[in-house]
Every structure is written in C-alpha cells, then in structure tokens.
C-alpha cells in the first residue's frame, strides 16, 4: 500500500491548519481570509458565513436518507457498469466503518465550477476530505478524483462530481451539499460532519489580494484545450522553473489536466496551496490582518458552508495544534482506482475498495502514526 505523505517541516506561527483545513486551491484563500478578518470582529461570530442553512442541510439529508438503499455490506440492485473486455471486475460497495467515540471532525471541501453571478449549483471540480482528531492530535487530507464512478443515493451510478448537482436540483444548494456528503459517506465509509464550497472567483481574488504567489513549475505546461469563461478555449503555456502567478494564472495552473491527468493536477493544487501558505507566512500575521477586509470583500460571495464562523474558527484552532509530522496527505489515485468504460462509452474510475480500505482506516479511523 502506498503510504500517505507526511510533511516534515517545523511548526510555524501560522502553521498546519492553512495547508490542512484549506486542502485545495479552492478553499485555501477563502477560509484563511475569513478567519483572519473576522477574528478581529467579535460581533461576526453570531452569524454564519453565506450559510447553506444548517436546517436546510439537515432536512435535505433526511430526504436523501429516505431513499431505499441496500445495506453497505450488500450489493446494490443497481446494475454495475458494462466494462470493456479485459478490464477488471468492480469491487463491492464498501462496508461502513464504525464511527469511533472521539471528537474527530471531518469536512468535505469542494471547488465549484461556478461563473460569477451564477447560482451555487454546478458540478464539483475538486473534492477533498479534511479530518482532524484532537484526541490523537492528527490531521489528514484525502483527494477524491472527480471521475470516480460511485452509487449516488436515489440516482444510481454516476461520477461523484455530479452528486452536488443532483441534490441541488430546484435551486437548492443545501440539497446538493447533503447529497454530496451522503454520497461520500455511502461509498467510502467516512463520516462527514460539515461541508464547504468555494468557487473559482474566490481563488483568483484571494491570490491577487495577496500580491500573487511564487511556484516552481517542474514540467512545462502546454494545454491548448484549457477552457475559458465562455465555454471555449484559452490556450495555456507555462515554462518550467520559477514562476510568479497572479490569481488567474494560479487557478489555471491548479485546474489544467489535459496534458497529463487528474492525479497530476492534484499535485499542482497542493503546490498552489503551499505557495499561498508560504506567501501568508512571508507577509506575517499583522499584514494579513491589514489586508483581511479587502480579501473578504473580494471573495465573500464565493464561499458557502453549513458551518458557523465560530465552528470554523474552532476547527482552525484544533488544526493549529497539529504538529507538521502528524499531517498526512493522500490521493485516491493509481493503486486505489482502475480505469473503466461504461456501457455508454464514458471513461470513469472505479475504486478498489480493498486497496483503499487500509488507507481510509489509517487516515480517518486510525492513530495517524
């Protein structure tokens, strides 16, 4: 089994929660500035941040829960995908892993492919799980490929990035959040407490407000098929070596995948996350507080969550206590998934539950050591 990666840097004043809680480029700018801005404004603690109304999420979860599904240790009645000759057989739906009696908190973090002014209803371009266990003082990040072919409660089998759209039908983002969380729980056996979504504008504006970031690009990027904002193409070319990115280029670097794969893209996203973290550390806490109101004004419309600001702050404090050596990261990539072709000819990924079980157990239910 491929071991999850562990960061070995020493702790810093603005440490692990930045790269842990903000596990994707779509989250790093948002939560960082939200916390820095509102930690100085005590009255803000009483108000949620652009909430996906907690009651609405709970009600949507109840509605989803009414869908008739087989126990997780049994095969679904839904027909599995038709595979091309020579491809491996899908593994069964995973058995639920018992939720331990602990104070562990797990958040589903997603990046939504949403254009400015559009409703918060779209396929999720990025999906990650962040978990922190104060009992063992550990944290972990798990990236979930958007083409993972899973059972979506009430919808049958489809890519995991469609769950949010299905649940949000009828202009109901809370339903999208509920179905996305339940889909992750159902297929991975991981209990999810909260949900947070950030759109592309939040990333661009956040990086720009920081003055850009510095990234060392390992391989030249040449993507003539990079999408523009009008559903056309905006060719992307980035030379290998040291680069200074503004918000637009940072987002493009994190999103491009036509040259290689989603798994390489996940590595680039981690690069951008760490570059943002490094920039914030270089600016210092005082400078960040000075910039926080501007940052907040620029991307507040691009964040949605069912956590109150106080809950988010408490989570950040918990994550802040985790030493660098106890932060683990992993991707459900090669070794955990297989390529599949559906009967309709769609290229998707199927999770090898047996291979992933040990990884999930270690990151979300083990000691993290």
Q: How many residues does the chain have?
A: 369
Instruction: Tell me the mean pLDDT in the region 324-332.
Output: 81
Q: Which segments of the chain does DSSP mark as H helices, in order? A: 16-20, 25-38, 54-65, 163-167, 173-188, 200-209, 247-255, 262-283, 285-299, 309-320, 353-360
Tokens of residue 26, six digits:
């779509």
What percentage of the chain carries pLDDT values higher than 70? 59
Q: Express each pLDDT in 11-42 by its tens digit.
A: 333 333 333 333 333 344 444 443 443 333 33
Q: Express each pLDDT in 251-274 by its tens digit.
A: 889 878 766 666 777 778 767 876
For residue 89, name the pLDDT band (cuts at 50, 70, 90). very low
How close are the terminal C-alpha atoms of the chain, in Å? Answer: 15
Q: Distance (Å, rounded) from C-alpha 25 to C-alpha 199?
A: 10
The residue written with tokens 């951008």 in the block is 272
For helices 200-209 and 285-299, angle between their N-to-C axes, nearest 10 degrees: 140
Beta strand pairing call for 105-112 and 194-199 = parallel
Rounded alpha-carbon distances, angstroms, from residue 244 to 28, 32, 237, 339: 18, 20, 14, 35
- Which class in CATH covers the domain with range 5-210+303-365? alpha beta
Is the per-residue pLDDT at 91 higher than 60?
no
Q: Distance (Å, rounded) from C-alpha 72 to C-alpha 102?
A: 23
pTM of the model: 0.68
Backbone angles phi, psi at 364, to 5 degrees: -115, -15
Domain regions of the chain by residue span: 5-210+303-365
Q: What angle do CA 104, 110, 112 make, to 5 degrees?
A: 160
151 with 157: CB under 8 angstroms? Answer: yes
For helices 173-188 and 54-65, angle between their N-to-C axes, nearest 10 degrees: 50
**Local structure of 323: helix, strand or coil:** coil
Q: Express each pLDDT in 221-260 by its tens digit.
A: 898 888 776 778 888 999 999 999 998 899 889 878 766 6
Q: Express each pLDDT in 157-196 by its tens digit.
A: 999 988 988 888 877 777 888 899 999 999 999 999 998 8
More confidently predicted of 277 and 364: 364
For all residues of the chain together, what is the average pLDDT? Answer: 70
């Amino acid at each position: 089994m491929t071991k999850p990666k562990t960061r070995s840097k020493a702790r810093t004043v603005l440490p692990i929660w930045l790269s842990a809680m903000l596990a994707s480029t779509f989250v790093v700018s948002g939560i960082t500035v939200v916390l820095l801005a509102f930690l100085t404004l005590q009255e803000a603690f009483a108000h949620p941040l652009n909430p996906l109304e907690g009651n609405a999420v709970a009600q949507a979860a109840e509605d989803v829960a009414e869908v008739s599904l087989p126990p997780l240790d049994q095969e679904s009645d839904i027909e599995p995908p038709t595979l091309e000759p020579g491809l491996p057989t899908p593994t069964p739906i995973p058995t639920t892993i018992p939720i331990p009696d602990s104070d562990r908190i797990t958040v589903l973090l997603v990046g939504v492919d949403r254009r400015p002014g559009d409703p918060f209803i779209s396929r999720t371009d990025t999906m990650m799980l962040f978990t922190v266990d104060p009992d063992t003082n550990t944290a972990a990040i798990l990236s979930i490929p958007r083409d993972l072919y899973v059972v979506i409660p009430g919808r049958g089998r489809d890519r995991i990035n469609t769950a949010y759209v299905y649940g949000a039908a009828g202009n109901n983002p809370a339903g999208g959040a509920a179905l996305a969380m339940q889909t992750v729980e159902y297929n991975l056996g991981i209990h999810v407490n909260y949900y947070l979504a950030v759109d592309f504008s939040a990333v661009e504006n956040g990086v720009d407000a920081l003055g850009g970031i510095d990234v060392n690009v390992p391989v030249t990027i040449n993507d003539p098929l990079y999408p523009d904002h009008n559903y056309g193409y905006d060719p992307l070319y980035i030379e290998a070596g040291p680069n200074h990115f503004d918000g637009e280029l940072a987002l493009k670097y994190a999103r491009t995948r036509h040259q290689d794969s989603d798994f390489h893209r996940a590595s680039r996203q981690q690069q951008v996350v760490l570059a943002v973290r490094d920039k914030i550390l270089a600016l210092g806490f005082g400078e960040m507080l000075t910039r926080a109101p501007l940052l907040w004004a620029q991307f507040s419309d691009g964040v949605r969550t069912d956590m109150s600001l106080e809950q988010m702050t408490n989570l950040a404090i918990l994550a802040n206590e985790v030493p660098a050596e106890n932060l683990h990261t992993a991707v459900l990539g090669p070794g955990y998934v297989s390529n599949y072709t559906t009967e309709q000819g769609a290229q998707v990924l199927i999770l090898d539950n047996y291979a992933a079980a040990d990884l999930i157990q270690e990151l979300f239910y083990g000691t993290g050591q």
